[in-house]
Amino acid sequence: MKTIPNDKVIYKFSHEMKVVESISPGEIIKVETNDCFYQQIFSEEQVLNEIDYDRLNPATGPIYVKGAQPGDLLKVKILDIKVKDKGVAAVVPDEGVLGDQVTKPIIRVIGIENGYALFHGVKIPIKPMIGVIGVAPAKEEGIWATDSPWKHGGNMDTKDIKAGATLYFPVNQEGALLALGDCHAVMGDGEICFTGLEIPGEVTLEIDLIKNKTTKWPLLETNEYTMILASGDTLDEAVYEATSEAVKYIKNSLGIEWEDAYILASLTVDLKISQVVDPKMTARAAIPKYVVSTDKLISSL
């Protein structure tokens, strides 16, 4: 199994990136990831504005997938996410949902023991997830810093991007050029204060290709749902995009009228907030698999 080391990182998803490793569809790889601060924060005594802000949100990669062409889907199954035994969280004035109420910056170093993060006497069961994961964007979409989510993926900060889940990215460039980083040991929907429990990780992925199928936004398959992960300048915009795609996919895969698909979506689809603290907001529309299976949804694309 190939391992991609965590010193091979990008800070921007662009249509041109220097490849660090090539793999074939069907291959299983291990990717070492840095935390969003590139491990620059390790003590509560540190001063946040003294770290190097040019090294935030490193994503390990990019990885070239042989045979991937624009117009295909890159299938990324997350087999395992291992995280270290200590993570960091931070509060910064003017950041997060309640940034206006923050009176001082603080850093908290939070230990993990036997699957629980311990904070102020609360035992939090960890649920490791990947914050930043994406592929090269289309040239006309421009260049995206790794701190932002968009159609290529990026900083989607979605807690369902966890072991057992599968992501589907639209391929925009030859080789797809996958990169990832910014694991969180745990995070609630919204990422309210602007960090999760930020932590280095070791992610095992199985990579595959679905030829001649594409989507506007990344899809995420869990045990229960197929989700559309959409982002926008506001949560309203993200919700509109995610819903619009969900209704379209239900209509096309079941072969029913758009208005009926809209009703069916209203009865079954869950809208969830992924994050509201990045340069763009991310929401997800979750279509239950009993409405349409992920395979059927993808074959109707």
Where on the chain is the footprint of Ca ion (CB under 5 A)?
131, 155, 157, 182
**Kind of pairing between the strands at 153-155 and 149-150:** antiparallel
Give the whole-angstrom CA distance, residue 14 versus residue 139: 7
CB of 199 to Zn ion, least distance (A): 9
Specify the residue, 56 or 256, whose C-beta has the smaller distance to Zn ion: 56
Q: 297: how many CB neighbours lie within 10 A of its CB?
A: 24
Residue from 275, 290, 295, 195 nearest 229 by CA = 275
Specify the residue, 72 or 278, whose C-beta has the smaller distance to Zn ion: 278
Count of residues for the chain? 301
Q: Single out the segment in contact with Zn ion by CB under 5 A; choices: 93-101, 116-124, 193-201, 239-247.
A: 193-201
The conformation of residue 224, written as its DSSP 8-state character, comes to: S
Specify the residue, 52 or 140, whose C-beta has the smaller distance to Zn ion: 52
Kindly state whether residue 36 participates in binding Zn ion, applying the rule CB under 5 A.
yes
Kindly state whether residue 181 participates in binding Zn ion, applying the rule CB under 5 A.
no
Give the whole-angstrom CA distance, residue 74 versus residue 208: 6
Q: Map residue 259 onto helix, strand or coil.
A: helix
Specify the residue, 243 or 275, whose C-beta has the smaller distance to Zn ion: 275
CB of 273 to Ca ion, least distance (A): 14
What letter represents residue 102's amino acid?
V
Question: Which phi and psi angles does 97 have, rounded to 5°?
Answer: -60, -40
128-157 positions binding Zn ion, by CB under 5 A: 131
Specify the residue, 182 or 208, whose C-beta has the smaller distance to Ca ion: 182
Q: Single out the segment in contact with Zn ion by CB under 5 A; choices: 3-11, 14-22, 98-106, 190-198.
A: 190-198
Binding residues for Zn ion (CB under 5 A): 36, 131, 182, 198
